[in-house]
Amino acid sequence: MPPKAKITKEMIIDVAFGIIQNEGVDKVTARNISEQLHCSTQPVLYYFATVEDIKKTVYEKADEYHSNYIMNMENDYGNPMLAIGMNYINFAIEERNLFRFLFQSNEFSGASMLDLLDSEELLPLLTVLQQELDMTMDEAKEIFSTLFIFVHGYASLYANNTMVYEEANVISALEKVFYGAVCITKGDNDEKNI
């Protein structure tokens, strides 16, 4: 019976994830991974033909980590969509390198906003919005796209700059954008009817 492998594919993925999280995607190399695993590069390159293959696999892990983070509803902002938006921004602040890896690495090359809105991963968020506001899926997509662009702008600013985070101001701005988008979509100018 052959000896049990000391280095596993999962160990390589975990180490690469940690490198991205702590140092950034540019630091993911077979040598850096092997150094952290205290092995040669041979096991790393046995499981993955290239470093790009490692990054693609780690992208999936990072995407799942991000999804769990933003869907955590510990903080109540009075509305699930505002909570998700605030979690998205907080993720960019607390996990700058992962945010950049997920959303600023040209992963969406060739995709349109419609492609993103129709993605399977977004369906749970859109369903929450649709149910919360009692609207059609198309209306939920319209509101989500408006809020997403705004939230992503804030998140990008915080992920790429050492700005002072003023949560109350961000919440106020997100509420205005959210309720404004809802009012316009519903054709209602009274926030109290939302």
Assign 95 a pLDDT band (cuts: 50, 70, 90).
Answer: very high
Alpha helices, DSSP H, located in 80-136: 80-94, 96-103, 113-117, 123-133
Q: Are 114 and 170 part of one and the same domain?
A: yes
Q: What is the pLDDT of residue 45?
A: 92
Residue 122, pLDDT score: 79
* Whether residue 164 sits in one domain with residue 81: yes
Indicate the residue among 39, 62, 85 that finishes a domain.
Answer: 62
The reply to whether 88 and 121 lie within a common domain is yes
16 and 92, same domain (yes or no): no
How far is it, in rounded angstroms, from Cα 53 to Cα 95?
22
118 and 137 housed in the same domain = yes
Mean pLDDT over the full length of the chain: 87
Cβ–Cβ < 8 Å for 126, 175: no
pLDDT tens digits for range 15-32: 999 999 999 999 999 999
Where a domain ends, among 16, 39, 62? 62
Tokens 């995407």, residue located: 63
Residue 71 backbone phi and psi in degrees, to 5:
-90, 0
Each residue's pLDDT tens digit, 116-169: 778 787 788 888 888 888 889 999 889 888 998 999 999 999 999 888 889 999
State the pLDDT at residue 87. Answer: 93
CA angle 108, 109, 112 (to 5 degrees): 70
Question: How many CB atoms sit inside 10 A of residue 137's CB?
Answer: 13
Together in a domain, 55 and 134:
no
Residue 110 pLDDT > 60? no
Query: Given 29, 45, 62, which residue is the final one in a domain?
Result: 62
CB atoms within 10 A of CB 19: 21
Residues 29, 82, single domain; the answer is no
DSSP letters, 15-36, are HHHHHHHHH-GGG--HHHHHHH
Do 100 and 185 have their domain in common?
yes
Residue 47 belongs to domain with CATH number: 1.10.10.60
pLDDT, position 192? 54
Confidence band of 107 (pLDDT split at 50, 70, 90): low
| Between 161 and 193, residue with greater pLDDT | 161
Query: 43 and 98, same structural domain?
Result: no
Overall number of domains in the chain? 2
Using the predicted structure, report yes or no on whether residue 109 has a pLDDT greater than 80.
no
pLDDT at 105: 80
Residues 85 and 120 in one domain: yes
Task: Assign 65 a pLDDT band (cuts: 50, 70, 90).
Answer: very high
Same domain, 147 and 54: no
Contact between 128 and 81 under an 8 Å Cβ cutoff? The reply is yes
Share above pLDDT 90 across residues of the chain, in percent, rounded to a whole number: 53
Domain that holds residue 52: 1-62
